[in-house]
Amino acid sequence: MTTIAVLDYGAGNVRSAVRAAEAAGAEVRLTADHADIEAADGLLVPGVGAFSAVMAGLEGVDALDLIRARHEEGRPLLGICVGLQVFFSQGREHGVETAGIGLWPGEVTALDAPVVPHMGWSDITAAEGSRMFSGIEDEKFYFVHSYAATDHPAGTLVTTARHGSEFIAAVEDGTTWAAQFHPEKSAQAGAALLRNWIASFPDEDRVSDGGRSPDSR
84-100 pLDDT, tens digit each: 999 999 999 999 999 99
Proportion of the chain above pLDDT 70, given as a percent:
94
pLDDT for residue 211: 38
When pLDDT is averaged across residues 154-159 and rounded to a whole number, the result is 99
In this predicted structure, the answer to whether residue 215 has a pLDDT above a threshold of 90 is no
pLDDT over threshold 50, residue 2: yes
- Is residue 27 part of the annotated active site? The answer reads no
Q: Compute the distance between CA of residue 87 and CA of residue 207 in angstroms, rounded to an integer.
A: 26
Confirm whether 204 is a catalytic residue. Answer: no
Cα-flanking dihedrals φ and ψ of residue 164, to 5°? Answer: 80, -55
The torsion angles phi and psi of 73, rounded to 5 degrees, stand at: -80, -10
Rg for the chain, CA atoms, rounded? 16
- Look at residue 206 in the predicted model and tell me its pLDDT: 52
- Quick check: 163 and 125 in contact, CB under 8 A? no
Q: Which of 97, 172, 184, 204 is catalytic?
A: 184
Which stretches of the chain are assigned E, i.e. beta strand?
Answer: 3-7, 27-31, 42-45, 77-80, 88-93, 96-99, 104-110, 118-123, 140-145, 147-149, 157-163, 165-173, 176-179
pLDDT band at 155 (very low <50, low <70, confident <90, very high): very high
Which of 71, 81, 139, 172 is catalytic? The answer is 81
Q: Is 184 a catalytic site residue?
A: yes
CATH superfamily of 3-92+106-205: Class I glutamine amidotransferase (GATase) domain (3.40.50.880)
